[in-house]
C-alpha cells in the first residue's frame, strides 16, 4: 500500500482533499507534528481503513482560523475503522476488527490513564497532558479524515464492536462514540444530571444535541436547549427537548416561562470560546464569557456546570488581547456565592464509550437521529465544512471507503 487521501486545513476558510502518505508504524515529520515526536516508533499501533470519520465543531474552530493550526494539518479526530495492519507489540487487536477510536490518544500506562483520566495522558504529547488526532498543539498525531489512519496503543485505545454485521448496520450511531456522544454525555454527567433533573444545554450544535440526548438517557425530567439557530433548535425539539432562542432575550426569563422558576438543576456549556452575546438576534457580537456567566446565573445554588465546550489558550481571532490567550471575564464571584461546581476539559471517552455502545446496540438511544447525521464522501468534505460553518443542523459523517451504504 502506498497512497492515502485526506482532508487538510490550508488557510482560514479553506480545507482541501489531498494525496498523502499511507501510515507507517513511525510518526513522521509534518504539519503540526511536535519535533519531539518525530521518529517515534509505534509497534503498539494499528493501521485502520477508515469506516467513518466525522466533521466536528472543534475542527471548525481551526478551519475558521481561530487557532494556531498550521497549513497542511490533516484533520479528523472522530474515527471508526477496520483494522488492516497491527504492529509487532499488538496482542489482542486483530485484522478485520471493526472499532471505535476515542479521540483522546492515551497510553494506558501513566498515572492519569490508570485513574481513567485518559483526556490528560502524560505520555503522548511532549508539550502538555492530553492529545488528539489531527488537532493543533496535540502532539501531531495525524488526523483520521482520511482513507487510512494510524492508532497508537491499539490494544488499549480501540473499542471493538462485538459483531461486524450489526456494527456496520448501526454505524451512523456508533460513529458518534469517538467523541460527540461521550463528550455530550460527559457534560450531562458532570453537570450532575439525574432522574428528575431540569437541565439547560447552551448550544444546539452536535455536541449540545448529544448532551441533551445524554441528559434524557440519564433520566432528566426536562431538557431545555438554547441557541440562536432556528434550524438547530427545531432539531432539538424533534427528540423531545424544550428550546429557547438566546437571540430573543435572557435565558433565565425564557426558562422561567417554561418551568415557572428562572433556574435549572444542571447546566451544560456546549458552545465554547466563540460564544456571542445574548439578545440582538443574528447581529449579536462575540463575547466569549457569555455562556459561562449565563450558566452561573441560571443554575440553582449548589448545582453544577458541565463544560465540554472548547476553550483555548491561543486564539488569533480573539475579541481582545485577553481573549487571544484564553483569559475571559468570568464572574467567579457568582459561582462562589452559589457554591457551583465546574468541570472543564477533554471528555475521557473511555470512561463512557462501552456503556454508550451498549445503549446504541440495544436500541436505548437514537444518537444519529438526535444529531441529524448525514453521510457524505471524502471528496465532499469541503462542502460539508462550509455547510456546517453556515449553521446547518447536520452532523456530517465522512465515508471515505464506501462502508456506509445509501
Give the separation between CA 59 and CA 9, rounded to whole angstroms: 9
Per-residue pLDDT tens over the stretch 166-209 = 999 999 999 999 999 999 999 999 999 999 999 999 999 999 99
Over 20-66, what HEC string results?
EECCCCECCCCCCCCHHHCCCECCCCEEEEEEEEECCHHHHHHHCCC
Whether the per-residue pLDDT at 1 is higher than 60: the answer is: no
Tell me if residue 213 falls in helix, strand or coil: helix
Domains 3-179+348-398 and 180-343 share a fold: no
Q: What is the pLDDT of residue 323?
A: 86
Q: What is the pLDDT of residue 281?
A: 64
Q: Which helix (H) or strand (E) holds 18?
A: strand 14-21
Q: What is the pLDDT of residue 2?
A: 63
Give the separation between CA 404 and CA 53, rounded to whole angstroms: 11
Strands 198-202 and 222-227: parallel
Given pLDDT bands bounded at 50, 70 and 90, which one contains residue 24? very high
Q: What is the pLDDT of residue 287?
A: 84
Q: Which residue has the higher pLDDT, 140 or 258?
A: 258
Q: What is the pLDDT of residue 164?
A: 96
Whether the per-residue pLDDT at 344 is higher than 90: the answer is: yes
Give the separation between CA 197 and CA 219, rounded to whole angstroms: 7
Average pLDDT score, the chain: 95
The fourth-level CATH superfamily of domain 180-343 is NAD(P)-binding Rossmann-like Domain (3.40.50.720)
Q: What is the pLDDT of residue 280?
A: 66
Q: Give the residue extent of every domain in the chain.
A: 3-179+348-398, 180-343
Given pLDDT bands bounded at 50, 70 and 90, which one contains residue 3? confident
Whether the per-residue pLDDT at 388 is higher than 90: the answer is: yes
Q: What is the pLDDT of residue 6?
A: 97
Residue with cell 446565573: 297
- Looking at domain 3-179+348-398, its CATH architecture is Alpha-Beta Complex (3.90)
Q: What is the DSSP string of 68-105?
A: -PPTTEEP---EEEEEEEE-TT--S--TT-EEEE-SB-
Q: What is the pLDDT of residue 389?
A: 92
Give the separation between CA 30 and CA 74, rounded to whole angstroms: 9
Cα–Cα distance list, 314 to 136, 311, 349 (Å): 10, 9, 24
- Is residue 112 a contact partner of residue 118, using CB atoms and an 8 Å limit? yes
Q: What is the pLDDT of residue 282?
A: 64
Cell numbers describing residue 303: 448545582
Lowest mean pLDDT among 276-280, 312-316, 398-402: 276-280
Strands 79-86 and 98-101: antiparallel
Per-residue pLDDT tens over the stretch 217-266 = 999 999 999 999 999 999 999 999 999 999 998 999 999 999 999 999 99
Cβ neighbours for 206, distance < 8 A, ≥ 6 positions apart: 56, 57, 180, 371, 395
pTM, whole model, 2 decimals?
0.95
Give the separation between CA 261 and CA 255, rounded to whole angstroms: 7
Phi, psi of 116 (to 5 degrees): 70, 20
Per-residue pLDDT tens over the stretch 78-94 = 999 999 999 999 999 99
Whether the per-residue pLDDT at 340 is higher than 90: the answer is: yes
Cα–Cα distance list, 139 to 79, 186, 230 (Å): 18, 24, 37
Give the separation between CA 277 and CA 289, rounded to whole angstroms: 9
Q: What is the pLDDT of residue 273?
A: 85
Strands (E), 169-240: 198-202, 222-227
Q: What is the pLDDT of residue 161?
A: 98
Q: Is 377 exposed, middle or buried (0-12, 13-18, 19+ CB in 10 A)?
A: middle
Given pLDDT bands bounded at 50, 70 and 90, which one contains residue 19? very high
Per-residue pLDDT tens over the stretch 287-338 = 888 999 999 999 999 999 999 998 988 888 888 898 888 888 899 999 999 9
Give the separation between CA 277 and CA 402, rounded to whole angstroms: 42
Amino acid at each position: 500500500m502506498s497512497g492515502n487521501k485526506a482532508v487538510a486545513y490550508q488557510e482560514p476558510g479553506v480545507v482541501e482533499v489531498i494525496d498523502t502518505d499511507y501510515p507507517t508504524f513511525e510518526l513522521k515529520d509534518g504539519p503540526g507534528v511536535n519535533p519531539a515526536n518525530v521518529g517515534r516508533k509505534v509497534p503498539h499501533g494499528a493501521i485502520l481503513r477508515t469506516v467513518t470519520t466525522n466533521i466536528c465543531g472543534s475542527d471548525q474552530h481551526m478551519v475558521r482560523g481561530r487557532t494556531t493550526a498550521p497549513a497542511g494539518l490533516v484533520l479528523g479526530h472522530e474515527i471508526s475503522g477496520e483494522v488492516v495492519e497491527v504492529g509487532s507489540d499488538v496482542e489482542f487487536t486483530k485484522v478485520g476488527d471493526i472499532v471505535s477510536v476515542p479521540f483522546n490518544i492515551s497510553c494506558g500506562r501513566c498515572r492519569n490513564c490508570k485513574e481513567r483520566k485518559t483526556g490528560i495522558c502524560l505520555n503522548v504529547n511532549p508539550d502538555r497532558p492530553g492529545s488528539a488526532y489531527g488537532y493543533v498543539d496535540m502532539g501531531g498525531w495525524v488526523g483520521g479524515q482520511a482513507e487510512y489512519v494510524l492508532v497508537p496503543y491499539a490494544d488499549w485505545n480501540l473499542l471493538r464492536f462485538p459483531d461486524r454485521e450489526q456494527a456496520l448496520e448501526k454505524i451512523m450511531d456508533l460513529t458518534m462514540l469517538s467523541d460527540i456522544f461521550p463528550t455530550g454525555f460527559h457534560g450531562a454527567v458532570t453537570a450532575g444530571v439525574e432522574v428528575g433533573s431540569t437541565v439547560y444545554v447552551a448550544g444546539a450544535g452536535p455536541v449540545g444535541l448529544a448532551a441533551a440526548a445524554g441528559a434524557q438517557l440519564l433520566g432528566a425530567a426536562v431538557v431545555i436547549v438554547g441557541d440562536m439557530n432556528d434550524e438547530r433548535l427545531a432539531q432539538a425539539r424533534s427528540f423531545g427537548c424544550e428550546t429557547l432562542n438566546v437571540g430573543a432575550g435572557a435565558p433565565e426569563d425564557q426558562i422561567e416561562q417554561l418551568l415557572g422558576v428562572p433556574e435549572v438543576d444542571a447546566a451544560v456549556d456546549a458552545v465554547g470560546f466563540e460564544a456571542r452575546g445574548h439578545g440582538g438576534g443574528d447581529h449579536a457580537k462575540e463575547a466569549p464569557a457569555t455562556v459561562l456567566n449565563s450558566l452561573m446565573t441560571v443554575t440553582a445554588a449548589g448545582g453544577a456546570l458541565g463544560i465540554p465546550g472548547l476553550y483555548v489558550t491561543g486564539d488569533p481571532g480573539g475579541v481582545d488581547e485577553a481573549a487571544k490567550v484564553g483569559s475571559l471575564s468570568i464572574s467567579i464571584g457568582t459561582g462562589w456565592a452559589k457554591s457551583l461546581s465546574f468541570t472543564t476539559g477533554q471528555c475521557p471517552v473511555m470512561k463512557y464509550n462501552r456503556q454508550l455502545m451498549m445503549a446504541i446496540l440495544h436500541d436505548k438511544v437514537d444518537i444519529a437521529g438526535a444529531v441529524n447525521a448525514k453521510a457524505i464522501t471524502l471528496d465532499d468534505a469541503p462542502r460539508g465544512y462550509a455547510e456546517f460553518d453556515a449553521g446547518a443542523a447536520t452532523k456530517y459523517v465522512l465515508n471515505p471507503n464506501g462502508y456506509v451504504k445509501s
